[in-house]
Structure 1
Amino acid sequence: MTMFDSFETVTFEGTNSENPLAFHHYDAKKEVMGKTLEEHLRFAVAYWHTFAWEGGDPFGGSTFQRDWYPQDNMENAYKKADAAFDFFRVLDVPYFCWHDLDLRPDQGNFAGNLSTLDQITDYVGEKMAQSKTKLLWGTANMFSDRRWMSGASTNPDPDVFAFAAATVKSCMDATHKLGGENYVLWGGREGYETLLNTDLNQELDHMGRFLNMVVDYKHKIGFKGAILVEPKPQEPSKHQYDYDAATCIGFLRKYGLENEVKLNLEQGHAILAGHSFEHEIATATAEGMLGSIDMNRNDYQSGWDTDQFPNNTPEVALCYYHILKSGGFTTGGTNFDAKVRRQSLTAEDLIAAHVGGMDICARGFEAAAAMLEDGGLEEALSERYAGWDTPEAKEMLGSDLASITARVLSEDIRPAPRSGRQEILENYVNRFV
């Protein structure tokens, strides 16, 4: 028995339904642009926020009561896995994601962690064999324990680097064993708070070498999934090395990893970096480096990553527009790195939060597909940049400053500003959402 036993599998009932535990927009089998919504969106439940988080915040402790608390023993780890797969059944969700520490308690030493990770992933594998739910990605928690307080691969202590390497190897092995489609490196504390005690160049070199080791090991074990890194600004380190998509892309190129590693982008992290999620996705897709996304939202009045479920259809639509425009997900998907509020205590709250998030994503995705098929935004872009299609403009890009200056003088070029048509385009988007 789990806290989700009494709930039937959520079904699509359409927009006229008033059932809070029914899908109003997400019809998993509906075909859009040649694939079903389930195949396009590839939804995943985050094990950490949904099952491991106890309802604390920076100013208060646990508010939830779950059958698998306290999370300090393996008996309760098995109970948590039972509840998780019952929850996956209720949502009929195709994927889930985990950190190692979500699955089992930290044993305080690597041998103990390795043993308990093997035990719980054997059990999870048995649960997966009886379920439709697969593993989108696994990752290592290298931020919670005090050993990681100065970073993992960037730590000034080589013993911590070694512990991190062993931990990542064990998590890659577990992800591979469970048929995971990606492996994520989430650098929660890869950064610094002051340069007074930090050798920035050495730490970046160590981080680059560590990631090359990860790629080498991927090929050694025959892991076919993608290796992803996740931009993570200002949380918790003041200066994160993996600040945003552009920073990560530059880092990967510096260390020769641009053809081996892609990005796992999160909406909340985009906001903390001072960007929109749409910007981060467009930056990654422009470089062919989008791997997967964590879908959530921040409270724009708070200064930290509040990890709320998405509820803004226009924002979501523009994000999926760029994903669709780039060809859609391959190994990646839509992971709900989101949590209910600490006052939302019940099983029904957990289910309704995911149902609402899936509905918003489906609604935004269908709007994105409609915009892409209509072609209005692409037509507007083509018109705005049409001048660059002329022979003179193309020749100029292969020229030099002196020759261009001579042309400006001889032709008396006097640029006439043209409208960017922003409000017209915003109105266009609103027709679809």
Structure 2
Amino acid sequence: MTHETATTAVDNPLEQLTLDDLRRRTSVKWQVYPPDVLPLFVAEMDTPVAPCVVGAVRAALDLGDTGYDVGTAYAEALAPFAADRWGWTPDVASSRTLPDVMVAVVEVLRVLTGPGDAVVVTPPVYPPFYGFPGHEGRRVVEAPLGADLRLDLGTLEQAFADATGASAHGTGPGSGRRAVLLLCNPHNPTGTVHTRAELEAVLALADRYGVRVVADEIHAPFTFERVAAGAAPFVPLLSVAGSEDAVVVQSASKAFHLAGLRAAVALGGPDAAADLRRIPEEAGHAVNHLAVLAHAAAYREGGPWLDSLLAGVHRNRALVATLLAEHAPAVRLQPAEATYLAWLDVRDALPAGVAATGAAGLVLERGRLALEDGVRFGAGGAGWLRLNLATSTAVLTEAVRRLGRALTEG
């Protein structure tokens, strides 16, 4: 599938379930709010599961293949997928299969840092980047994105100096404290795809300050170069010069709607292989073998399904822009290059007297529309809302209408 390839409602996974179908689900998206609320907050997709995944899970259940997971099957399935999509082949031999992305991140942080050490994050960013390191006793240091919502080297340098106790510009000794940059690649919630040049610059700066880089690449399959001409391609961090001691975590769960069958794999550059070996064996004991089989099937056979989904989300992003112009023209849609999430700036659209921190509550109360509150994403998030694009055109149309009504009705 290439360059704006069209898909029909039959093969577009986003158009295969009705709202009544979706409300029969028992996951968080459909259970947190009452039935009159349209939920487009959490990153669950309104699609069936890819047939290849259903087949793999059914076959495993029929066989009773529901025992303990072992080996590198996850990375073995990811490797050809990554080579085909991104021109990068991970090191299967040194990989570690772990229960999910944030569990993997925590295990890596435990190896690379100790209690009281710093974890640098680049807000607005995925909220668990705060909670999980904080729960492990790490100090979270913010390095906010620039005004263009891209990585800001000057801000990162200040954060690295804070994190390590080094003098500005890395000219003096640090405190001896270890530190990690926890990077979202591609970025959630902005949908930014970091360029190779940006990643090289970040890695070089981190090396100068002795900061290790750990990247959450869960949204990596969700860039649009295969379905849209000129779209920015995903750049795997470990394919970039200077990434020899970096660590990344990959998972099929977001792209293939498998949050309820979680699994992940930690991968490292050659100088990080020893660090991955230091993750204790017990960390992998909670890996769901059925989830690994599901993810492996998605990587091996789910490419056509994923491409149809990408095309549908790409069209949905354009649809939301059109609908906003009609129903909520003061809302600004942040241009995005990845993910099925839309980052909406509603600051200029809020009624008089409503604070930026009250945007999500207003939309929920007046519009019966649940969007993710930007406040949860850290510095720079107030007055922004995150909307899930991975749904039908009918649901999206109704959602934007509700947003417009909520922002204009007194």
TM-score normalised by the shorter chain: which range applies? Answer: 0.3 to 0.5
Higher-helix-fraction structure: 1
TM-score, with structure 2 as normaliser: 0.32
RCO (CA 8 Å, sep 6+): is it higher in 1 or 2? 2
TM-score, with structure 1 as normaliser: 0.31
